[in-house]
Amino acid sequence: MTTLPRGLYTALITPFNEQGEIDFEGLKANLEDQIASYVAGIVLTGSTGEGSTLTENELKELVPFAKKVTNGKTTLVVGIASPSTKKCVEQLQMAQEGGADAILAITPYSNKPSQEGIYHHFQTLANSTEVPIILYNHPGRCHVPIALDTLRRLILHPQIAGIKDCSGDLNYFMELCRTFGQQLQIFSGDDGYAYPHLALGASGLFSVASNLFPHVMNKLVQLVLERRFDEALSLHYKLLPLFHALNSETNPIPVKKGMKLLGKPSGSPRLPLTPLSASNTLTLEKLLCVVRPTSNV
């Protein structure tokens, strides 16, 4: 099994300019910000990166561009998503050709496959690549979970290296760690669950909040991984209101507004997502002021 670095992975936004096109200079600045904070990895074209709204030509350009900027300084993970296994294979191959170090593959959404369908979907992806695959369990977006019995079959494939869990089900997560912790890398996919997930045995965190404060989020992850629980818990509770604010509307609506408020490249989300409401913007702005002094911890 391929082992990925432990630690913080930033689920990076895709910044757009006023014309709604990818802001590559802004993307470069955001990538460099993450590298300077020593994150373990960066995730492109995931849910936070609005990957489902990007065209094929944009995907072909985006991954090699990011690979050139990161240049081995951090792990480059590329998200793929489609209800179609065939389209996922095409995305995977583009990502691999562009230089992806790993693939983050979410369960097919919309068509609600059976567990047998999920198994064959991920098997097909694993058979189509030479880079490690991280499965992405998110029943909230995809309507169906990756069942533990299905996972037991999937981990026999050498290209399947890990799983990112966004189920919000702590019992499911504990069973992941208890049953598969020695065979598979398990990652938290929710900032609000980072502390308990890492304490239970997760290898790292795929974070939205680290777009805003990568140094702070890296500190939180490292404190828990080093078993410095009292310090980690104090920081966790300081950040918790921000985590809630980043879930006030569909991701990445709040975090893109947060980036703009901090003066970082962002732009508006693409339709059908719309900018953050005025009331939620006010709440987020107040919380950014609270967390900002922590950014030098």
Establish whether the linkage from the previous residue to 252 is cis, with ω within 30° of 0.
yes
Contacts with 104 (C-beta within 8 Å, 6 or more apart), sequence order: 43, 46, 77, 78, 79, 80, 133, 134, 136, 164, 206
Give the active site residue among 9, 119, 136, 195.
136
Whether 260 is a known active-site residue: answer: no
Whether 136 is a known active-site residue: answer: yes
Give the active site residue among 67, 164, 219, 257.
164
The whole-angstrom separation of Cα 116 and Cα 156 is: 15
The continuous run of DSSP H or E covering 8 comes out as: strand 7-11
- CA atoms 282, 284, 287, 291: torsion sign: negative
Establish whether the linkage from the previous residue to 5 is cis, with ω within 30° of 0.
no
The whole-angstrom separation of Cα 279 and Cα 44 is: 29
By three-state DSSP, how is residue 7 classified?
A: strand
Catalytic residue positions, numbered: 136, 164
